Amino acid sequence: MMHNLSWEILYESLPTLGAGMLITLQITITAIVAGISLGTVLALLRLSNIRALRWFATGYVTVFRSIPLVMVLLWFYLIVPQFIQVVLGLSPRADIRLVSAMVAFTLFEAAYYSEIIRAGINAIPKGQMKASLALGMTNIQAMWLIVLPQAFRAMTPLLLTQAIILFQDTSLVYVISLADFFRTATNIGERDGAAVEMILFAGACYFVMCSLASACVKILQKKVQR
């Protein structure tokens, strides 16, 4: 049986829900920044003339695009948490679930970002690179100063769209019992006997935030196409 969600309960839960949303945003922002950075490196490796580097990058992208995100989250949380703790030099008191989620999302999203970035680089006329080399630039300088800025300008809407998808996917951290926004909302609902209502409320929050973000992307896309 469904009960009416008490506004008093919802108001009292706002600080807890806010803390959950903060975790969701931490994962999202970290994965966007680190994912785009790693994705750029992977894209450049896939365009490299060195076969071993191309194979490595292609293998990385293929593997992570072939595995469900839930499995990646579980793998980093259950199998390699100690490895992550040692490599990142984390304090024993650090929340390994949050760090595992950040690492998993970063590595997973990097595979998708790399394909977007590679397509953006390939869309830039080859004459841009040739002209830069003719002016005395090195390959790295031409790519960093001439090609990548143009590519990122053109593919910004796609990168932001992928970021919106990433924000939605963060709700999957419930599988490792991390108290993100969605998990916090469901916990409050189960505690207060209003699970369905809290899930609907969480869904409404995701809908509003993603709709606003999508509208901003469309506006930006129109500006880029001018």
pLDDT in tens, 23-39: 999 999 999 999 999 99
State pTM to two decimals.
0.88
What's the whole-number mean pLDDT along residues 179-196? 87
Q: How far apart are CA 42 and CA 63, in angstroms?
A: 13
DSSP string, 68-109: -HHHHHHHHHHTSHHHHHHHHT--TTS-HHHHHHHHHHHHHH
Tell me the residue range of the domain where 33 lies.
Answer: 7-225
- Token pair for residue 216? 């901003």
Total domains present in the chain: 1
Asked whether residue 1 carries a pLDDT value surpassing 50, the answer given is: no
CATH code of the domain in which 44 resides? 1.10.3720.10
Neighbouring C-beta atoms of residue 15, cutoff 10 Å: 9
Burial (0-12, 13-18, 19+ Cβ within 10 Å), 174: middle
Determine the Cα–Cα distance for residues 165 and 68; give it in Å rounded to an integer.
Answer: 14
**Residue 2 belongs to a domain:** no
* pLDDT bucket at 65, cuts 50 / 70 / 90: very high
Q: Is residue 190 part of a domain?
A: yes
Q: Residue 137: enclosing H or E segment and its boundaries?
A: none
